[in-house]
Amino acid sequence: MDNHHYAHYIDIFKTRHDIIDFLMETFIMFKDLIGKAVYPKDWMVMNMVQNRVFLRAITQFSVVLTKRFLDPANFELQLWNNYFHLGVAFLVQDPLQLETFSVEKRQKIVDKYGDMRKTIGFQVRDMWYNLGPHKIKFIPGMVGPILEMTLVPEPELRRATIPIFFDMMQCEYSVNYSFHMFENELITKLDQEVEGGRGDEQYKVILERILLEHCRQHRYLATSGEAFVLLVSSLLENLLDYRTIMHDESKENQMCCTVNVLTFYKEKKREDIYIR
């Protein structure tokens, strides 16, 4: 399908509600197909062709979202929410994680299809910034999905998407004069993601560097923002140590790392995570 096919198809819907229903169902169906892995893992070509079709359609429909459902009178929260969740699900799916393939296979995929994660990641980033005053409606709900996206070990993607965190802090601060919702959600989700095996030392370094740069240039977030970033960096360090040491023979090392993580959550008054 060419661009004009997509445009024509959207134009044949008689009402705004018909377009909303169509997009809702399509986003849900795509996410479902991605989650269920229709083809076996080793059917690389079929997986890539399917993903290329998804990517093209998602890109076309993102234009429809921006044109028809962005201004305050027509804004559709659930539709945008479904779009973001689909974008992240697409990005983090197993068949697109190039690091897991042999060098030869990875090169073949990049030569023929490119790195689709970067394409969708940059698009999600642009769509986030398009939201303008609507951003606050997605905090803290979108913190977890954006974190998932930034944890994908692709340096360019990380550099492009980590600044969204600062934007979320800034956005919440401009409404509530604090960023507690964002802070609590990031700490909770970070704990879950690192425990689930994601995140690495390079992520800790790039996250700290980018967020510190942004915070230090901000008139009101320079102090509180910097303190928060260093706190998150220290948490990440403890969580990564804890994850690594769980396979260590030494019970003493294991206990030491466990105590570090527990102390952190006790000081932050995060009793729920402390108990878990």
pLDDT tens digits along 79-121:
999 999 999 999 999 999 999 999 999 999 999 999 999 999 9
Per the structure block, which two tokens stand in for 245?
């040491």
The Cα 245–Cα 263 span in angstroms is 17
pLDDT value, residue 41: 85
Per the structure block, which two tokens stand in for 213?
């740069």
CB count, 10 Å around CB of 55? 21
pLDDT digits (tens, 9 = 90+) for 40-65: 988 999 999 999 999 999 999 999 99
pLDDT digits (tens, 9 = 90+) for 127-181: 999 999 999 999 999 999 999 999 999 999 999 999 999 999 999 999 999 999 9
HSE toward the beta carbon, residue 16, CA cutoff 13 A: 9
The Cα 77–Cα 56 span in angstroms is 23
pLDDT value, residue 217: 96
Instruction: Name the 3-class secondary structure at 31.
Output: helix
pLDDT value, residue 221: 96
The Cα 25–Cα 22 span in angstroms is 5
Per the structure block, which two tokens stand in for 243?
């994850």
For the chain, what are the domain ranges?
1-133, 139-276
Q: Is the pLDDT of residue 20 over 90?
A: yes
Closest CA to 125 of 153, 95, 97, 83: 83
pLDDT digits (tens, 9 = 90+) for 212-271: 999 999 999 999 999 999 999 999 999 999 898 877 777 788 888 889 889 988 888 888
Average pLDDT over residues 1-27: 96
* Amino acid letter, residue 132: G
84, exposed or middle or buried, with CB in 10 Å at 0-12, 13-18, 19+? buried
